[in-house]
Structure 1
Amino acid sequence: LHERSTYATTVKVIMCAKLLTVTQSTSVDDGFSLRTDRHLRYLPVVEYGKLVRLFSIGDLLKAVMDDQRKLIDQLQQYIAS
């Protein structure tokens, strides 16, 4: 809010002028980078002009961790065989 009053300030004054969105085909890495670079709490997923989902940092971290877990499992199986 940059020292503005929460009661007197409208959302229009503090919101982004252009809403940043992704599509369902956007990679998790690209979404994660965009969210991090732009300091976004949520990343709207839009298809055909309609909101499909809001991704949070938790959603993106979970996807990254799941990918890393799969890779670790594959490497352990490779090493064990």
Structure 2
Amino acid sequence: MSLPGQFSDPRVITLFGLLAVSTVVWLSLGLRARARDRRDPAHTPLERIWHPQESIPLTPAEEHAFGQVVSRLSPGSAGRLR
């Protein structure tokens, strides 16, 4: 059985074949990763990410500047940023 028109070109058949193979590989690797994550809960993401600056104490001037930035970013009375 031959394919009609432009689908009989070997380059098109090769392209579709590579697309099919890569899709199958991508799906199988994704399913294996999901199954591994279900079995091994140690790879689950942390609830909170530690940032290196947390261990460095801020000066009072830095704390004041940070507080001013946060107060500008907090929602105003209408729920919009100031």
TM-score in terms of structure 2 length: 0.36
Q: Which has the higher strand share?
A: 1
Q: Which has the higher helix share?
A: 2
The structure with more radius of gyration: 2
Asked which structure has the greater RCO (Cα within 8 Å, sep 6+), the reply is 1
